[in-house]
Amino acid sequence: MLIRSSLVLLVIALPGTLFSQQISVNASVSDTVASPVVKMQEVEVQAKNQVFLNSIDRKIYNVGKDIQATSGSVSDLLQNIPAVQVDIDGNLSLRGESSVQVLIDGKSSALMGSTNRADVLAQLPADSIERVEVITNPSAMYKPDGAGGIINIVLKKKRNPGLTGSVKVTVGNKRRWGSSLRGSYNPGKYNFSWDLGLRQDDRIRIATDKRTSIDSKTGTTTVTQTNTTEHSRPLSRLGQINISINSSKTDKLTESVDYNNRTFYRRSAEIESTLLNSVQTLYYDRLRFDPEHEQDVESKTGWEHTFGEEDHVLTAELRTEHHTELENNFYANTYGIPQAQTNYDSMRAFTGEPVTELTVEYANPISANSKLELGFNQSDDKSNQDHYRAYATSATSPWLIDTTTTNRFILDQFIQAMYGTYRTKLGQVGILAGLRFEKSDINTNQITTKLVHDTVLYRLYPTLHLNYDLNDTQQVQLNYSHRVRRPESDDLNPFPQYQDPFNLRAGNPLLKPMETHSLEAGYQYKKEDTSYLATLYYRYNYNGFTSVSEFLTPTTILTTMQNLASSSAGGLEVVATINPLKKLTLNSTGDIYLSQINASNLGYTTSRSSTVWSGKINAEYELSKVTTFQLNAVYTAKRLTPQGYRMPTFVSNFGIKHDIKEKNLSIVVTVSDLFNTLKEETILNTPILRDDSMRKRSSRIVYAGIIYTFGGGKKKGKNDAMQFDNNL
């Protein structure tokens, strides 16, 4: 007698796990009275990664099937993630807060250093990413850096036995192209994997700036207009090599080396004009040539010891990295009004940043529902900035050093921390409580002016996460964390940096770290492929950072960094995943919050507030089992700044992906900024100064790519949908 049965298994992640799949198994079973043996004649397995998962301390977005993850950069991919905003230069923010910590596989990385992070994200191919975790209130096991929270980029790690890998080639408009070779060799006791990539980009930036100032004593009005067109072609070389060895049944050794090398030539043309009481007093062209080179080298050496039971482990990791960056700017200034000889200036900016970090962590599942984690972290982060400026009055005259802007500055941050968390579940209540103690020693040395400043801080960073299961489909959450944003080298260096004849920038060595208290309450409904998550959140900041601009001359502005008295933001975020049609999946998010700024310590007598909202929608339609369309759109409303506001932004992207499974090939086409709407406009408005600046990038970036996968042992059946997911 032939018995056909259908089983549906739902694998749900335990607290702390980060992956969930829904698996459908169809089996044909042959059974007779004479023989009790059951024979499996046909097995069909279909797997579908849940697009969105919510755990006690993070939100998880599986991005393997996102078309932007196949041909685009990480910046392109992050635009689709709820709560994450990406500006025109690739800078990230979470719910409007720009202080964000970016991790790779839960750890610090040289590639994600704040000074070059935006450029790396714009060049880093996204097809190596398995999921993105948004942790707006991280536990004490994470560094408290980043007032907005953490974006954790989790890379693909599944290693099939033997030799496996993939080759990808993409081409785009404006002579853009990219290629990558990814693979692993896993004979059993050890695993060797690599990820190599080249990417040639093409960047066009168009900027305008109109500045109107009023002299409060004379009433004189000065209008300065700047129009800039900039073009560069960055070439990025990325490489990662990982080796893991199971030296015994309980011990594993790992070594990974990351390398990033980026070079490009930047050329720009700037037209400057000035009107004094409607009479033109200045008109000149400023041409710029800037060869730049950035390099990151990082090594991570790790050891893991397992004590015999699952998740009872002791780990240690030593991380060393070195970041170098060199700019050589050359300018030629040609004057029309008043008539003058063409003159020249140059600026050489070098940054060297070595980092050494040691982390030791211990985890013990002390019972079926409880887990204790303890850790120690020590990091030494040094930054050496060397700025050299010179000028020449003509093409034949000698170069002269500009002592007013040539300087050297060193920042050394030495931080030690001890931390621990305790996780348990009491009936329907989940608890994750943690505490982190930190000592930080921050030393600044302005070598040119012999100005030295040393600050030692002791801080406690408590965290608490609670969730309560109302039933099988509904859950409520409440969590709190204390975060910090530390000043960077540019924020602390008091020596004025020359940007152009109208703009100088200087840091503040007395700038205090910004402290943030963050509170969230959430409700989640999840049933099959439908999920809704609503989160009420509130952030209170004190000693926040803000840029303050003031006139040095009627046409020259000095911008410095200052601490705000306080600021706050509170709002509602809603995330929804639904399937209105069998082949259509919609992921959408909406965020609305009230932002308040108190700058009374800077001379502003009243607080400022505004309501900001943003929305995202991502639509994915499966035309067939092998062809998928994707369309997404992002809108952000007007946002408040201490001295003005930023205008709304809108961008939309489109992609199509087609698989040729019998050839192990995938073909992808994507279009970024489909409607040519992406631009950034900022208004600065005070009683004596109004500045309206706008920046726009290349429009409609088009990429077409082909991906070939190889290896992985015997090829699976044509109906095995899991092969599709694993290849992404």
Residue boundaries of the structural domains of the chain: 2-46, 50-727
Which residue has better confidence, 67 or 205? 205
For residue 358, CA distances in Å to 251, 299, 391 come to 19, 12, 45
Q: How far apart are CA 62 and CA 620, in angstroms?
A: 14
Residue pair 596/612 in contact (Cβ under 8 Å)? The answer is: no
* Per-residue model confidence (pLDDT) at position 35: 37
- The mean pLDDT value for 94-102 works out to 86
Neighbours of 309 (CB within 10 A): 9
Whether the predicted pLDDT of 28 surpasses 60: no
DSSP characters for 647-665? --EEEEEEEEEEEEGGGTE
50-727 adopts what CATH topology? Maltoporin; Chain A (2.40.170)
Whether the predicted pLDDT of 27 surpasses 80: no
Q: How far apart are CA 585 and CA 580, in angstroms?
A: 7
The residue written with tokens 């109004």 in the block is: 690
DSSP characters for 614-634? EEEEEEEEESSSSEEEEEEEE
DSSP characters for 490-551? HHH--SPEEEETTEEEE--TTPPPEEEEEEEEEEEEEETTEEEEEEEEEEEEES-EEEEEEE
Instruction: Please state, for a pLDDT cut of 70, what percent of the chain lies above it.
Output: 87
Residues with Cβ within 8 Å of 249's Cβ and at least 6 positions away in sequence, in order, are none
Q: How far apart are CA 489 and CA 383, in angstroms?
A: 7
pLDDT in tens, 423-432: 999 999 999 9
Whether the predicted pLDDT of 366 surpasses 70: yes
**Buried-state track 9-45, b at ≥16 Cβ within 10 A, e below 16:** eeeeeebeebeebbeeeeeeeeeeeeeeeeeeeeeee
Q: Chain centroid to CA 711: how far? A: 32
pTM above 0.85, yes or no: no
Q: Which two tokens stand for residue 148?
A: 């907005």
Would you call 167 helix, strand, or coil by DSSP?
strand
Could you give the count of Cα atoms lying within 13 Å of 373 in the half-sphere of its Cβ? Answer: 19
- Residue 501's nearest CA partner among 611, 357, 350, 343 is 343
Q: Which two tokens stand for residue 348?
A: 């050489």
- The mean pLDDT value for 490-511 works out to 84
- The mean pLDDT value for 394-406 works out to 90
Give me the chain's average pLDDT, please.
Answer: 83
Is residue 34 very low, low, confident or very high in pLDDT (cuts 50, 70, 90)? very low
- Residue 521's nearest CA partner among 507, 530, 533, 532 is 533
Residue pair 116/490 in contact (Cβ under 8 Å)? The answer is: no
Residue 678 identity (one-letter amino acid): L
- Residue 702's nearest CA partner among 64, 72, 89 is 72
Q: How far apart are CA 77 and CA 584, in angstroms?
A: 20
pLDDT in tens, 611-632: 888 899 989 999 998 899 999 8
Lowest-pLDDT range, 475-479, 512-516, 600-604? 600-604
pLDDT in tens, 545-557: 888 877 777 667 8
